[in-house]
């Protein structure tokens, strides 16, 4: 999704299942998951997408915690939040 719309609207659309770049990290070890997330974020940024969705599952929350720690320090990430139903994180990326 490429847009200069309101950031909250973009995150809502990503959360609601809009057509945004997405990756499913189920079954991956943390190092694999972080590498896959990095590839997704970089590719989305290069394409000019403003939002992305990462599915990590609910479970015990270990993968979510590791992912959120990484996202909080990522230079391309403006902000992120867990989806309302849990199990996924939606991310607002920096503009070019």
- Residue 90 token pair: 């939606």
Alpha-carbon span 52 to 70, nearest angstrom: 15
Alpha-carbon span 46 to 11, nearest angstrom: 19
Q: Where are the domains of the chain?
A: 7-93
Q: What is the mean pLDDT of each run of 10 residues along the chain (96 residues)?
A: 71 87 95 98 97 94 96 98 93 93
Alpha-carbon span 80 to 1, nearest angstrom: 16
What is the CATH number that goes with domain 7-93?
3.30.1370.110
Using the Cα atoms of residue 24, residue 28, residue 34 and residue 36 in order, give the sign of their dihedral: negative
| pTM of the full structure | 0.90
Amino acid 5: pLDDT: 76
């Amino acid at each position: 999704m490429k847009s200069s719309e309101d950031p909250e609207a973009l995150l809502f659309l990503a959360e609601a299942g809009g057509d945004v770049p997405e990756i499913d990290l189920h079954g991956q070890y943390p190092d694999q998951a972080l590498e896959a997330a990095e590839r997704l974020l970089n590719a989305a940024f290069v394409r000019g997408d403003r939002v992305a969705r990462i599915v990590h599952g609910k479970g015990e929350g270990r993968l979510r915690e590791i992912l959120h720690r990484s996202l909080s320090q990522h230079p391309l990430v403006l902000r992120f939040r867990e989806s309302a139903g849990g199990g996924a994180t939606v991310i607002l990326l920096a503009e070019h």
